[in-house]
Every structure is written in structure tokens, then in C-alpha cells.
Structure 1
Amino acid sequence: MTAHQRAHSFNTAAAQYAANRPSYPPAALDAIEELAGRRLAGAQVADIGAGTGIATALLRERGARVVAVEPGDGMAAEFRRALPGVPIVRGDGNALPLADASHDLLTYAQSWHWTDTRRSVPEALRVLRPGGSLAVWWNTDVFDVPWIAEQHERIARHCGVPPTARTRPDDLRAARLSGLSGLALERRHVRWSRVVPLDTHLANIGSHSAFLVLGEAGTRAFLEEERARLREIFPDERVEECYLVDLLVAARP
């Protein structure tokens, strides 16, 4: 399964993604403003790989003038249902359909790892105005919570993928942002949590690309086993999901 196929697997589950994926805490938006050295209110922002608009909505609520860039048909359709007043254009981070020096901030929420940095870094620098910033972030798992660490290992084994999330923040800074050498780069971690019904938690897991490419049968069996395990930990079927937002902001000279 190629990265391209995994990236576009979300289009088959866009509604599930929109309904169950976590958002981001206000402190993460505060940190973006601090590290970028400007308020979001009034800023010209492009949200790249916007998906169903989870991050776009938060940026807009802060008063940013946002345009979304999204390559997938299903995700773009879900975006338009959720945010009919926000412009969305088709494209991806490797070839931005945006004018030179046209934006104050480019954001990549959960999407930078789908880009080819040999192409996406020059594109970002082309589109940013002098003094503008590139912000990339991910909700990463918190492994000092035992049940989360154990679930992560089970997911990796089931999907046949390496358990990379334990090392994701350091690996991404070194490997994925290496093309930004020479720019002022700042990093911030924001820990947060949400309490959701067990069904929402399981649907969130099932909306990840590693499961979407497995198909319904392989996913259903795993999620039913997880339901039984988690009922022992959360008998009221209210699950506290814990996250660490790993945020990196690079400033363009």
C-alpha cells in the first residue's frame, strides 16, 4: 500500500472522520500566535490538507481569513457541508494553487507527513509573504497513560505497521522538516484530553488510514476486541483520550 493510497483512503470515510476525530485545544492556537509573532485575527491563512475542516474552523473562529487546500473528493465534500462559507480549492502541499507571497501563515494540521518535503518546502516558501510562518502540528498519543501505550502496540501489530508514534515528534523534526534548515524554527508541546463515548473512540480509531486500507472485516474484528477491553477500564463507556499536540513553527525571512 503506497503513501498516496493511504492518504486518499480518507475520502471513503470522510463523514466518519469529521464526526469522530479530535480537534485541537485553544492553547495550541495560542502557541501558534506566539511562535508566529502575530495574531490570527486578520491574518491571511491557507490551511493545507484541510480535510473536513477541523483546523480550518478553529482558525476562522480566531478571526483569520482562511482558504482551505484539499486534494480529496470525499474530504472536500464534507468540508463544504461543514463550512459552506469558507473557500476551498483543490490541490496539495506539493503544488499549492496559491499565488506567490500571498499568505501570512500556512498551516498543516495532521497533513505535513503526506507531503514530499523536496517539493512542499519550496512551495511553502513561495506562497508565504516575507515574515510569514509555516505551522505544522499533530495530535500524538500520550504514552505515560498505560492503556493508551498498550492500545498503540496492539494497533501496530494488527495493522502490520511499526509503532512509530513513540518517536514521532523527534523523527519528524529531524527528517520531515530538514528542508527548513536556515529558518527560525520553534517547537511547542501542548497536552490536552477529551472525554468521549466509547463508540466515538472506536470510530476515531477506525478512521485512521492504517485501518481504512484494511477493509471492513479486518477493522471490525479489532474494534470489537477493543470494545471488550476498554469496557473493563471505562465501565461507564466514557473514554478519556489524552493527546500531546506537537507543534512546529518555521518563520520565513
Structure 2
Amino acid sequence: MTAHERAHSFNTAAAQYAANRPSYPPAVLDAIEELAGRPLACTRVADIGAGTGIATALLRERGARVVAIEPGDGMVAEFRRALPEVPIVRGDGNALPLADASHDLLTYAQSWHWTDTARSVPEALRVLRPGGSLAVWWNTDAFDVPWIAAQHERIARHCGVRPASEARPDDLRAARLSGLSGLPLARRQVRWSRVVSLDTHLANIGSHSAFLVLGEAGARASLAEERTRLREIFPDERVEECYLVDLLVVARP
């Protein structure tokens, strides 16, 4: 399974993604404003890899003038259902359908890792106005919470992928972004949590690409095991998901 195929696997589960994926806390938007050195209100923003519009909605609530960029049919359909008044353009971070020096801020929420950074970094710098900023961020699991770390290890084994806690992708992403752009990088981490039903939690993890490419039968077996294990930890079937948002911001001179 190629990275391209994994990236587009979300289109088969776009409604599930929209209904169950976590959003981001207000502190993330606060940090973007601080590190970019400008308020989001009236800022011209392109949200790249916008998916179903989770981050786009937050940016718009802050008063940003947002256009969304998204390549996937299923994700675009969900986006238009949720945010019919926000323009969305088909495209991806490797070849932005945007004019040179046309935007103050480019955002990649949970999507930067699907780009080819040798192409997406120059593209971002091309589209940004002087003084503009590139902000990328991810909801990462809080591995210091024992049940989350144990679940992550089980899922990685079942899906045949390397556990993120071993690969340390956040540090690698930061180093690569800084190296390719040749610009100073600011980093902020924001811890937060949400309490959801067990069904929502399982639907959330089932919407990740590692599960989607397994096929229905393979995913069902693993999720059934997780349901049994989590009922022992959360007998009321209310699960506290704990996240650490990793935010990276690069400012163009």
C-alpha cells in the first residue's frame, strides 16, 4: 500500500471521519496567532488538506478569510455539507492551486505528513506573502497515559506499522521542515483531552488510514478486541482521550 493510497483511503470513510475525529482546543489557535505574529481575524488563510473541514471551521470562527484545498472526493463532499459557505478548491500541498504571494497563512492540520516535503515546502514559500507563515500541526496520542500507550502498541502490531513512539515522527518532521525551508522554526505543544463514548472512540481510531487499508474484516477483529479491553478500564463506556498537539510554525521573511 503506497502513501498515496493510504492518504486517499479516507475518502471511503469521510462521514465516519467527520463524525468522530477530534477537533483542536482554542489554545492551538492562540499559539498560531502568537507565533505568526498576527491575529487570525481578516487574515487570508489557505487550509491545505482540509479534509472534512475540522480546522477550517475553527479558523473561520476566528474571523479568518479561509479557502480550503482538498484532493479527495469523499472529504470534499463532507466539507461542503458542513461548510457550504466556505470555498474549497481541489488540489494538494505538492502543487498548490494558488497564486504567488497570495496568502498570509497556510495551515496543514493533520495533513502535512501526506505531502512530499521536497515539493510542498517550496510551494508553501511560493504562495506565502512576505511576512506570512506556514503552520502545521497534529493531534498526537499522549503516550504517558498507560492505556493509550498500550493500545497504540496493539494497534501498530495488528496493522503491521511501526509504533510512532519508536519512530519519533514529530522530531523528524520538525527537523525536515526547518532544514528544507532554511528558516527558523517555532514549536509549541498543547495538551488537551476530550471525553467521548466508547463507540465514538472506536469509530475515531477506526477512521485512521492504518485501519482503513486493512479492509472491513481486519479492522473489525481489532476493534472488537479494543472494545473488550476498554470496557475493563472504562466500565461506564465513557473514554477520556488524551492528546498532545504538536504545532510547528515557520515565518517567511
**What TM-score, normalized to structure 1?**
0.98
Partner of 2:239: 239
8 Å CA contact retained: 1:53, 1:83: yes
Q: Which residue of 1 aligns with 2:51?
A: 51
Distance in 2, matches of 1:173 and 1:39, equals: 24
Question: Would the aligned equivalents of 2:42 and 2:63 in 1 still touch at CA under 8 Å?
Answer: yes
User: Partners of 1:147 and 1:137 in 2: how far apart?
Assistant: 24
Aligned counterpart, 2:169 = 168
Q: Distance in 1 between matches of 2:5 and 2:170?
A: 24
Counting only pairs closer than 5 Å after superposition, residues 50-199 of structure 1 correspond to structure 2 as 50-165=50-165, 167-181=168-182, 183-199=183-199
Matched with 1:228 is 228
Give, in whole Å, the separation in 2 of the partners of 1:143 and 1:220: 24
Name the SS for the 2:151 alignment partner.
helix
CA RMSD of the aligned region, Å?
0.8
User: Structure 1 residues 165, 44: closer, same or farther in 2, change over 3 A?
Assistant: farther
Offset at residue 184 of structure 1 (A): 2.5
| Aligned residue in 2 for 1:12 | 12
Amino acid at match of 1:123: E
After the TM superposition, which segments of 4 or more aligned residues of structure 1 sit over 2 Å from their partners?
Answer: 175-178
**Structure-2 separation of matches of 1:177 and 1:77:** 34
Could you report, residue by residue, the CA deviation over 1:53-110 in whole angstroms, capped at 9, with x for unpaired residues?
0000000000000000000000001000000000000000000000111100000000
In structure 1, how many angstroms separate the alpha carbons of the residues matched to 2:87 and 2:179?
Answer: 31
Q: Name the aligned partner's letter for residue 108 of structure 2.
A: Y
Deviations 1:24-66 (A, max 9, x none): 0000000000000000000000000000000000000000000
Cα deviation per residue 1:229-251 (whole Å; 9 max; x = unaligned)?
00010010000000000000000
Identical-pair percentage:
85
Asked whether the 8 Å contact 2:121–2:177 carries over to 1, the reply is no
Deviates more, 1:210-219 or 1:168-177: 168-177
Partner of 2:139, secondary structure, is: strand
| Contact 1:117/1:177 (8 A) holds in 2 | no
Match of 2:50, SS?
Answer: coil
Structure 2, gaps ≥5 residues long: none
2:27 maps to amino acid: A
d(CA) in 1 for partners of 2:173 and 2:146? 24
Q: 1:77 to 1:177 in 2, by over 3 A?
A: farther
What is the Cα deviation at residue 172 of structure 1? 1.4
Q: CA deviation at 1:165?
A: 4.2
